[in-house]
Amino acid sequence: MNKKKINKLSKLQYEVTQNCGTEKPFDNEYWDNEEEGIYVDIIDGTPLFCSLHKYDSGSGWPSFYKSLNNNISYNDDYKLGYKRIEVRSIKSNTHLGHIFNDGPKDKAGFRYCINSASLRFISKSSLKSEGYKNLLKLFLKKDKK
């Protein structure tokens, strides 16, 4: 865990990432972001999601139909009195949000419902300068269209 980074979090970022909080729908940084790029763990910078897999679920939170890699863990969550599946960033143990099975059916049916407060967005144009040059390949197929 990166204690220096945690000490620099806003109150909301801390509540979401460390105490499994939830930010308000439609009133968060990335719910309607349409810029190309990646979303990384706000604590340690681990790449988690890509804008190519983001869609408007109508929920008011950033929604993705798949994650970038195997950097996410899944845990049963009964805090609301019924079973949900919590998603966390493995390395930092950051609470990200939840996964549901009501996503796009043509994309395996998953909806990662993620709190903006747990993420940092890195635009496609900044990937190289931010140290994520290897992820530019995600956008190559789309750029050739």
Query: What residues are labeled active site?
Result: 113
Strand ranges (E), 12-142: 37-41, 47-50, 54-55, 63-64, 72-77, 84-89, 95-100, 111-114, 119-123
Q: Find residue 19's DSSP bridge partners.
A: none
Choose among 92, 52, 57: nearest CA to 68: 52
- Using DSSP's 3-state secondary structure scheme, residue 125 falls into helix
The DSSP-derived string for 14-28 is HHHHHH---PPTTSS
Pairing of strands 111-114, 95-100: antiparallel
